[in-house]
Amino acid sequence: MKYPFKSLLLAATVLAAASCAKDDTQSGGEETAGPVIVNASPAAIGGEIILKLKTEASGIVEKSRAQGVSKGSGIDEIDRILNTVNTVRFERLFPDGGRFEERTRREGLHLWYYAKYDPSVPTSEMASLLSSCKDIEIIEYSLAAETSDHRRAASPAAGAQSVTRAIADEVRNVPFPFNESERSQQMQWHYNNTGNIFAQTSQLGADANVYAAWQLSTGNPDVIVAVVDQGVKYDHEDLAANMWVNEAELNGTPGVDDDGNGYVDDIYGYNFTKETGELDFSAELMHGTHVAGTIAAVNNNGVGVCGIAGGSGRGDGVKIMSCEILGKSESGSSGAGLAGQIRAIKYAADNGAVICQNSWGYTAGTISVTDWTRGSYSALSRAMEYFNKYAGLDENGNQTGPMAGGIVLFAAGNDASSEVCYPAADANAISVGATAFTGAPAYYTNYGTWVQISAPGGDQMLSNAYGGVYSTSVAADGSSGYEGSQGTSMACPHVSGACALAVSYYYGAEKRKGLTGEMLRQALLSSTQSVDRYCTGKYQQYLGNMGIGSLDTYKLLRNIAKIDGIPAQRVGVGDTVSIDLSNHFTATNVLGYTVSVPDLVKIELRGGVMKLTGLKKGRTTIIVSDGAAIRKPIEVTVE
C-alpha cells in the first residue's frame, strides 16, 4: 500500500514541474528540448539513476557544495524531485580525480552525477520526473553488472590418463618451459592443444598458441592488468606473487587514504560494490580469481597452473589489480551498478593499469544499438574512452607506464545469440567470443559482426571434466583451489593475458617506450587463426560472425615486434628508393596499399619490397595494410 501513495506524490510533482516549464515558455523563456534518456531497460536497478548536467548547472552544484550543502544539487527544480523520492545521495559519478582532476574535467566527466533514492520508485517514473528539468542533458538508467555466465566442473581425478611431455613436444615441437605438472599442462589445453586431452580427441592447434610465445616473453611486472569482476583472491598460492600492491596503503594507516587517490585501504585494488578496500572471494565468488589465473598465475613455481603472462618464476610476471564490481551472487545481480562499473574503470586508468579485463556485461538484446550509441551518450562508454586515452600517462600527459593509452577487453556473452550485447559491442572495447577444443565456436557463445576476436573459452558439453578452461579458483574452505570452467568469461582473459604479454615483450628489460593502445589493438586484430574453417554444418550460422579469427599469441608478439611506423621517405624526381616491408610486417605476401596523390610517385610492390620512383614534386601518403587490422602510413616527399 506504500507505493500507490508514493505514485500520487510523484504524479503531483510531475504536474508541478510541467507547469513550471509551461510558465517559463509563456513568460518569454526559450523552449528547449528535454534531456536524452538512454538505456531505458526494465532490467534497470531500482533506486539509482545517472544524470549528465549542463555545464552551467554543474557549476551551481559545485558552488553549493563549496558553501556546505551536503545533499541535493543546489538547483531548486532538481532538488524538489530528489526530495520527493527520498534521495540519500547525490554526488559526482566520476569522483574528484585528485592529480588527474584536470584531465577528468577536460573530458567533461565532472558533469555526470549519480543519484540514489527510494528503490520502490520505478526508474522509468524517476526518469519521467527528471525529464522536465532544463538543467539536465542526459538521463541514464543504471544496469547491474552480470558475469558472462559460466559453467563449472569438478576437477578430474589426479590419476586420470595423461600424455607425456615427449608426445606433446613431438606433436607441436614447442617445449613447455616451466615446471608445472604434466597433468596441469594437459588440463590447460587452451594454451597448447596437442590433439589429445586425456584420451579425449581434440583439434591439434585449437588453442591460443602460448607455448611458442613464451619463447619470446613471459611477462613484465611493470604491466598492470585491471580485472573488473568479482574480487580476486589476492593470497592465492598461485596468484599472490603477481598481485598489484599499493605500497602506500599496505604500509600506511588503516582507515586513511594514504596515497591520496580518493580510495581508502585499496591495497590490492578496490571493492566498488561495498565501497571498501576489502575484496570478496569464496567458492561461490571465484569468477574473478579464475579470470586472473588465466592472465597471470605464477609460472615455474611448481604449483597449480600457468598464466599467459605469469612470468618465469623470477618475479617477472605481470600484475593483477582487482576492481570488484560483482557482488554476492554468481550472476552478479547484487553488483555495483553503473556507478561502480564506471568508477572501477577510471580507477584502473588512474592507478597504473594499461589493460582492462571485463568478463561481465548485460544480457544480449537488453540495450539496442540505437539506444546505446545515440550521440555516444553512455557514461560507461565515456569511462572506456577515458581508459583507452589516458592509461599509462601521468597528469601531464607523459608516458609513465609500459604503454601510452590502454586497451579494454569485454566478453561477448553466453546467450548463444546474435543480438548485440553491451558493453562488449561498444566502439571503445574489443569483444571476445569463445571457441572449444575442437576449434569450432562454443555452443553458448554470442556471435555476430560486432564480435571482433575469439579465444578458447571451453565447451563442457564436449567433455565436462576436461573441456573447460583450467585456472585458479577458491576451494570450499576458502583456501587456494583450481578448477575448469567455460564461457566467454574464460575466453576474454586469454586475450587480456596475450595483450599483457605483448606489452611486456615490446617494453622489455630496457623499458622501451613508444607503444600505444591503438598500435596494440591493430596488432591484436591481425594476430589470429581461422575460425571460419570450422563453421560448416551445424556451425554454419557462425560463419563470419566470430571476429577476425581466434587468438594466436605467438603471432601477436611477432606483430608487436614490428608494429612501429615506417620512416618517412624522400625521393628525387626520377630517383628510386626501396623499402623492405619485412622489417615492418610479419607476413609480406598479403600486403596491399592505397595512395593519397597517385600521380606523384610510381609504386612497385614485389616480394615484400616496395620501390618508390619520384614522378613530380609534392607530398603524398601511402597506406600499407596487411589485409587485417594493421595499417601503416608512409609519408613521401618528392623533391
- Would you list the domain boundaries of the chain? 34-142, 180-510+518-559, 567-636
Which own/partner pairs from 387-393 qualify as long-range (CB within 8 Å, at least 24 positions apart)?
Answer: 387/345, 387/346, 387/348, 387/349, 387/356, 387/428, 388/428, 388/517, 389/107, 390/100, 390/103, 390/349, 390/350, 391/348, 391/349, 391/353, 391/354, 391/356, 391/517, 392/352, 392/354, 392/517
Per annotation, catalytic residue among 149, 229, 415, 459: 229
Give which of 312, 311, 315, 300 is closest to 185, Cα–Cα. 300
Q: Which fold has domain 34-142?
A: Alpha-Beta Plaits (3.30.70)
Give the burial class of 102: count Cβ atoms within 10 A of its Cβ; 0-12 exposed, 13-18 middle, 19 or more buried. Answer: exposed
pLDDT at residue 202, rounded to an integer:
85
pLDDT of res. 148: 63
Active-site residue, 229 included: yes
Q: Are 483 and 305 in contact (CB under 8 A)?
A: no
The single residue of 236, 287, 290, 584 carrying the catalytic annotation is: 287
Which residues on neighbouring strands pair with residue 633, listed in sequence order? 623
Across the strands, what pairs with 637?
A: 570, 619
Q: Which residue among the candidates 132, 463, 473, 489 is catalytic per the annotation?
A: 489
What pLDDT sits at residue 152?
A: 55
Element (H, E) at 609: strand 609-614
Residues in the chain with pLDDT values less than 70: 1-33, 69-70, 148-172, 199, 328-334, 373-377
Burial readout 118-157 (b: 16 or more C-beta within 10 A, e: otherwise)? beebbbeebbbbbbbbbbbbbbbbbbbbbbbbbbbbebbe
At 198 the pLDDT is: 73
- The CATH code that applies to domain 567-636 is 2.60.40.1080
| Cα-Cα-Cα-Cα dihedral sign, residues 439, 176, 306, 508 | negative
pLDDT digits (tens, 9 = 90+) for 51-95: 999 999 999 999 988 887 667 899 999 999 999 999 999 999 999
Measured CA angle at 37 (ends 36, 42), to 5 deg: 170
At 274-291, the pLDDT tens digits run 999 999 999 999 999 999
| Model confidence pTM above 0.85 | yes
CATH number, span 180-510+518-559: 3.40.50.200
Residue among 498, 502, 470, 473 at smallest CA distance from 486 = 470
What pLDDT score was predicted for residue 368? 78
Q: Are 174 and 211 in contact (CB under 8 A)?
A: yes
Q: Is 287 a residue of the active site?
A: yes
Q: In this structure, what C-alpha cell is assigned to residue 468?
A: 573447460
Give the pLDDT confidence score for residue 167 in this predicted structure. Answer: 32
The reply to whether 257 belongs to the active site is: no
The C-alpha cell that represents 465 in the structure block: 571434466
